[in-house]
Amino acid sequence: MTALACGVDVGGTKILGGVVDGDGTIVEELRVTSPATDPDAIQQAIASVVLELKSRHEISSVGVGAAGYIDKSRSVVMFAPNIAWRDVDLRQGLEKQVDLPVVIENDANAAAWGEFAYGAGSDVDDLLLVTVGTGVGGGIVLDGSLYRGAFGVGAEIGHMRVVPGGIQCGCGNLGCFEQYASGSALVRDVRAAAKSGSLLARDLVERAGGDPDAITGPLITECAQAGDPFAVEALATLGRWLGEGIASLTAVLDPAVVAVGGGVADADDLLLEPARAAFHAQLTGRGHRPELQIRKATLGNSAGLIGAADLARR
C-alpha cells in the first residue's frame, strides 16, 4: 500500500490541508483561515493543520503549495505576493514543528503536477496547466518531470508580454498575458461596458441589481450559460486571448495537452471553444504538425493539494 502524504494549499485567505493516498484520493480534508499578514502565524497555522491530520493518519511526508517564488531547493519562499513571506526558509521551520519531511512548491506547479498525475494530463508525458482566475497562472510538466527553471521560478506564464505598451499589470510591467486572459480582465471589461451605458450590457446590470460594480465573473458565466449574447461574447473574447497565448507557449513548449483550470474554466465550452479556435488560427506550422488538446482541468480546487502531497511522497 502506498504511504499516505499530507498536502497543504496555502492562499491569501485560507489554508487547505488534506491527507492523500497513492491513487490521488483525498482521505480527509481540513480548512482554516489564513493569517496572511503574519508570516509566523501562517507557519504555525500550517503546522497545526498537519499535526491535526497526523494525529489521525499515518502520514509519511508533507507537501506545501504556496503562491510565490520558491527556490530551486524547494525550501525557501523568496517572495509571495499575497502573503507576508520574504526569503523565509519555510521547509526548515515546518520540519522541526511537524517532525516529517517537507517539500515546498509553487501552488501552480503543484496543481500542474496534480493534473498530470491524476487529472486532465494523466495520459500524456507533457502538460501545460493554465489557470484562469484572478490572474493567469501556469505549471509545466515536460517528459514526465515538473519544470521549475534554473532558479525555481519558471512557468510564470501570466507575465508573458502579449501587448507591448499595453495595460499595466500588478507586477509593474505593461501588457502582461493576465491583463487580457484572466477573470479580472473579464470583469474589468464588462464593467467598463456597463458603465458606458451599453445597451448590450443591460440584462447583466439588471441581474447585478443595477450596479455595474456588482458584476462578477460567476455572474457573467451564469448569464452566458442562460444565453445572454453580451456575456457569451465577453467570454469568447477572453477565450480568444487565452487561445492566442497558448499558441505562443506551444511554439516554445510543444505540450501534448493544455489543461485549463481556475474559476473561469467553469464556463466550459463558452470559454474553451473560442480558445481552441484562436489557438488553431495562431499555431505556428498548423496543418503540418500534430496538434495538442485543450482540455478542462478535472481536479478543481483540490489540484494543488493533491499535487503537493504527491510531490512530497515522490
CA distances from 127 to 244, 258, 295 (A): 17, 6, 11
- Model pTM? 0.93
**Predicted pLDDT of residue 286:** 87
CA–CA dist 119, 110 (Å, integer): 12
Mean pLDDT, rounded, for 120-144: 96
CATH of the domain at 244: 3.30.420.40
Q: Is the pLDDT of residue 8 over 70?
A: yes
The answer on 307 and 278 residing in a single domain is no
Identify the residue whose cell numbers are 511537524. 98
The rounded mean pLDDT for the chain is: 95
Q: 165: which DSSP letter?
A: T
High-pLDDT (> 70) share of the chain, %? 100
pLDDT of amino acid 1: 58
- For residues 38 and 23, membership in a common domain is answered with yes
> Does the pLDDT of residue 115 top 70, yes or no?
yes
Is 90 exceeded by the pLDDT of residue 150? yes
85 and 133 in a single domain? The answer is no
**pLDDT over 80 at 82, yes or no:** no
Do residues 286 and 308 both lie within one domain?
no
Task: Give yes or no for a contact between 42 and 294, defined as CB atoms under 8 angstroms apart.
Answer: no
pLDDT on residue 39: 87
* Residue 227 Rama label (left phi>0; alpha psi -120 to 50; beta): left
Q: Is residue 216 part of a domain?
A: yes
CA–CA separation, 111 and 300 (whole Å): 9
Residue 186, classified by CB atoms within 10 Å of its CB into exposed (0-12), middle (13-18) or buried (19+), is buried
Of 32-36, 232-236, 280-284, give the range with the top mean pLDDT.
232-236
- Residue-wise pLDDT tens digits, 245-292: 999 999 999 999 999 999 999 999 999 999 999 999 999 988 889 999
Whether 38 and 63 share a structural domain: yes
**CA Rg value for the chain:** 20
What is the C-alpha to C-alpha distance for residues 186 and 194, in angstroms, rounded to an integer?
Answer: 12
Whether 285 and 171 map to the same domain: the answer is yes
Tell me the torsion sign for CA atoms 10, 16, 19, 22.
negative
Task: Identify whether 142 is part of a domain.
Answer: yes
Q: Is the pLDDT of residue 12 over 80?
A: no
For the chain, the domain total comes to 2
Residue 75 lies in a domain: yes
pLDDT at 84: 81
Judgement on whether residues 75 and 102 belong to the same structural domain of the protein: yes
Please tell me which of 37-41, 55-59, 168-172 the model is most confident about, judged by mean pLDDT. Answer: 55-59
Are 84 and 50 in a shared domain? yes
Domain that holds residue 185: 124-297
Check if the beta carbon of residue 100 is closer than 8 Å to that of residue 62.
yes
pLDDT over 70 (residue 5)? yes
81 pLDDT more than 80? no
Q: Are 88 and 136 in the same domain?
A: no
Same structural domain, 24 and 75: yes
pLDDT of residue 195: 95
Q: Is residue 200 part of a domain?
A: yes
pLDDT tens digits, residue range 174-203? 999 999 999 999 999 999 999 999 999 999
Q: Which helix (H) or strand (E) holds 225?
A: helix 217-225
Whether residues 158 and 236 share a domain: the answer is: yes
Residue 119 forms part of a structural domain: no
Over residues 16-33, mean pLDDT? 96
What is the mean pLDDT of the segment spanning 196-211? 94
Cβ density class 152-171: b for 16+ within 10 Å, e for less? bbbbbbbbbebeeeeeebee
Q: What is the mean pLDDT of residues 150-159?
A: 93
Say if residue 251 is in the same domain as residue 171: yes
